[in-house]
Structure 1
């Protein structure tokens, strides 16, 4: 199931914010609604899975030859525009606006405007060439006629089967001011893919381990990069840990990256701040959280710059792995600092955002005390 979010980064260093989806609201007469619906938004298929069904003509009939001109990247392909689910039902009159003897005026809302962004939705395919299920997180951008970004939208497609292609609709892409939605105006900015059994648990769910581990979007300033790691006890028993998260650095193909020294603590990372002493035992009761963090410099001098797209993280030795995608641009420094776990004393619900990533009140998203 695809879920749409607009990402917001958190942290003591100041949040990094993505542009929210462009939305507009429009109220027109029933006659005008019918005219707009018949005007069309692009050709698409009614199939829910790739390869099923054929091309159909409907309210989103071809405009500007958008089909086949969509973006494609890392197994994700924009295939066209189709009528949004429920668009016809939402075209029913919304109620009487004015009534006088012998005169009745009603107003219908354009289907989807202000909610899903219009009567049409962009359709895209996700193909998994691997031998195990993968979960994909895709960042789309909707651009205007001049190619300027109007909004960014992040969607997660969970558990795409091995060798399978699934088809989804990008219903939160927004609605251009011109009134038509063109697949050619959708860009794929980024595709992250992780094995489904190592994907971070979505907000509101709890893994079998009872521990939900996530990474925030971090921040960058003056060459310093920081990303917070958040561990929530979502189970029904207490959990104890001491020390540092266990990390494995991975490249784009999820193979180990060698030659990077993982430092225990961030004292060796310029401008990253102190570590408040050695690690201390942390006991998390159900509902409590702990925080850690990664810090590095992106300095580039002699040698080849190194980028680490993925990190496999374990809360401690023997814990279940979770693969996150912090995109570490390590430059030529060859070093990555990791902070010890500390209990997060902030309100567990404070700063919770639509992207399911925890908020932050102190260094690396939480208090430094346990």
Structure 2
């Protein structure tokens, strides 16, 4: 018969053995159900789009882990959703490019809970740039975000990218496209010309347009119409061009109008438009995403002074 001291040593050995087994099951190296939530960045194996990819997602500690090493948990700060995504932009081309990326934040079922658009300027050839974005406003009561993904990427030569608000090119004019409007298959996008310089600027007529494909090569087979009457009467009557003199701080607007009707043939999409405010002006490349269907037509209205 064993004495009390022997029984105590046997019990202590059993407890130590069980503790050791439990620690082995929680080892994160096997990635199994017992894996401990990581506390540092974890690589995401998403290949991304056009050299843009998500590298990790940070979720608040109350959110469920998406598994497969996609997230890092973090405590929620006051006024902060606690959700963000780290991204990497790699320029594999031969010239500096400005990227505009759309990142979707989704739940486990793939439903988009929030998204954000980010512009990454002048990424040099062969260079990579990293950053962090949040999901914008996530509606209360929405399903928890579990992952982020790159939804869309556009990229234009850095020296043709629209200037940021508050920045003024050496030309003294800033050209950019607005968000546009769509209804019943009719599409309307405004081109805006802002006199951000210190002297008056004069325009008369139509902006000069070059339609470009995904590789920023010219698109054939699309007629650019002066005016929109041949496409719709919904944009108002066509008017002849008139001289417009913009004082510093004033803006002119020209309108692109098209339909996305699809009949027989191959639908045409024009992701990029190179714009010159007038002959001799520096080119600016905008990304209105012209879904022209099979219409083969794009209407452009002349420059008009924008309402104050």
TM-score range, shorter chain: 0.7 to 0.9
Task: Tell whether the 8 Å contact from 1:60 to 1:82 is kept in structure 2 after alignment.
Answer: no
Q: How many residues align?
A: 258
1:61 and 2:26 equivalent? Answer: no
Of residues 165-174 and 259-268 in structure 1, the stretch that sits farther from structure 2 once superposed is 165-174
1:162 is aligned to 125
Q: For 1:194, which of 156, 160, 182 is the aligned residue?
A: 156
Shift of residue 340, structure 1, vs aligned partner: 0.2
Aligned pairs for 1:337-348 (under 5 A) are 337-346=299-308
SS at the partner of 1:73?
Answer: coil
SS at the partner of 1:326?
Answer: coil
Structure 2: how far apart are the matches of 1:152 and 1:319? 35
Shift of residue 59, structure 1, vs aligned partner: 7.9
The structure showing larger relative contact order (alpha-carbon pairs under 8 Å, at least 6 residues apart) is 1
1:231 and 2:193 equivalent? Answer: yes
1:147 and 2:126 equivalent? Answer: no
1:40 is aligned to none
1:242 is aligned to 204
Structure 2: how far apart are the matches of 1:149 and 1:159? 29
Structure 1: how far apart are the matches of 2:302 and 2:166? 26
Aligned pairs for 1:209-224 (under 5 A) are 209-224=171-186
Which structure has the bigger radius of gyration?
2
Structure 2: how far apart are the matches of 1:152 and 1:172? 5
Structure 2: how far apart are the matches of 1:165 and 1:236? 36
Task: Tell whether the 8 Å contact from 1:122 to 1:173 is kept in structure 2 after alignment.
Answer: no
How big is the alpha-carbon RMSD for the aligned residues of Structure 1 and Structure 2? 2.7
Structure 2: how far apart are the matches of 1:178 and 1:153? 17
Task: Tell whether the 8 Å contact from 2:107 to 2:145 is kept in structure 1 after alignment.
Answer: no
Once the two structures are superposed, what CA deviation does each residue of 1:281-324 show, in whole Å capped at 9, x if it has no partner? 00000000101010011111121111100000010011011100
TM score, norm. by length of structure 2? 0.77
Structure 2: how far apart are the matches of 1:174 and 1:222? 28
1:132 is aligned to 95
1:80 and 2:56 equivalent? Answer: yes
2:261 is aligned to 299
1:313 and 2:278 equivalent? Answer: no
Structure 1: how far apart are the matches of 2:307 and 2:253? 10
Task: Tell whether the 8 Å contact from 2:105 to 2:145 is kept in structure 1 after alignment.
Answer: no
Q: For 1:114, which of 67, 79, 89 is the aligned residue?
A: 79
Structure 2: state its 5+ residue gaps.
1-36, 61-74
Task: Tell whether the 8 Å contact from 2:160 to 2:285 is kept in structure 1 after alignment.
Answer: yes
Q: For 1:264, which of 201, 206, 226 is the aligned residue?
A: 226
Task: Tell whether the 8 Å contact from 2:225 to 2:298 is kept in structure 1 after alignment.
Answer: yes
TM score, norm. by length of structure 1? 0.64
Change in CA separation of 1:235 and 1:248 when aligned onto 2, cut-off 3 Å: same
